[in-house]
Each structure stands twice: as C-alpha cells, then as structure tokens.
Structure 1
Amino acid sequence: MPFIPEDDIRLLLDSLGDLPPAEKCPFLLILVGLPGTGKSTFAGRFAKQIPVVILESDALRKTLINQPVYSDSEHTRVFKAIHELMGKLLGQSV
C-alpha cells in the first residue's frame, strides 16, 4: 500500500468536527450510486436518527486539495486517505 501522509489523515479528521460518542458495536455503512440518486439525502436523514460520521469524498477531496483536477493520482491519494481514516474511526469505535 502506498505511503499515506499522516498530515492528510489529520486534516481529514480535523475537518469532521465533533465526533459522535464511541459505540459498543461500531458499524460501517457505504452508500454508492449514480449522481442524483439520493445518497446524500439518505445519509442526512439517517444521521438525524443515529449519530454517525458521514464521509463525503467530494468534501474530503476539497479538504486535501485546494483545486481538484480529479486525476488518477489525486483519486488514489484521496481514497487511500479516506480508507485510512475509516480504519482509525472504526478502531476508536466511532
């Protein structure tokens, strides 16, 4: 796995703000689909019912990269960092 700068992870984590409390049984819910199919709407409604962390790749990309160009190397950097962040959060039972 390519090296992921710890600064990238820290930037992403800081951008999330206050995290929900740790859970006894943490879970990961991944939403995928075509643009405009309601992923963000569903996630927002879900978060109103259950305190969760929502990781939106477009928002997190802009946290890491001021002017994204959506290149392959940029895509790899962003998604490797998000993957690492998910592992950290789940490791903390968030």
Structure 2
Amino acid sequence: MADLILPVKAIYFHQIREGSKPEEFRLDNEYWRKRLVGKTFDRVIVTLGYPKAGDTSRRVIRPWRGYVMRTITHEFFGNMPQHVFAINVSVPGAEGE
C-alpha cells in the first residue's frame, strides 16, 4: 500500500482533522514534483509533526483523491503568491464534494 505522509504543524493538523481545512499545500518545486507528479497513492496520512510508531492520536488518514495546482498567498510562504500542489485531505462525503 503506497501512502503519502504529510507532517504538518498543530494548527493545520487540527483543522484537517475537524474538516475545516480541505487541502494541504506543498510548494511547486522539484522536491514535490518528483513525489507527486504522475504518482498515485492509496492513502494520505497527515501527521502532527513526526509521531512515534503506533501513535494514532497524531495521525489523520484520508483516501488519496489527488491534487490540483493553485496559486495562493499565505503567511507560511512569505505572503507572496506561490504556485502550490493543493492536496485533497477533505473528509470523504463532506458537503461540497
């Protein structure tokens, strides 16, 4: 089973877990292009930092539903417009899907 593991900061982890953050962003750079373009995964595992093996309280598991390319402005990326991979981490069956 191929998993995409995305460690995130606490604020984003809690938003993803509660369903208010439907996408997790990664910069469009060579590192992420090699890992995402043309690839498919079984699941996306969002982790609160880097949890110990077996610590399920710090993991959110979602089915892989791909990504879209977006241009966003966000303080994490220096408040400058950035081209990003917007990885779908929404709750399956959530309203608006």
- Confirm or deny a common fold (TM above 0.5): no
Report the TM-score, using the length of structure 2 for normalisation: 0.28
Report the TM-score, using the length of structure 1 for normalisation: 0.28
Specify which structure has the higher proportion of strand.
2
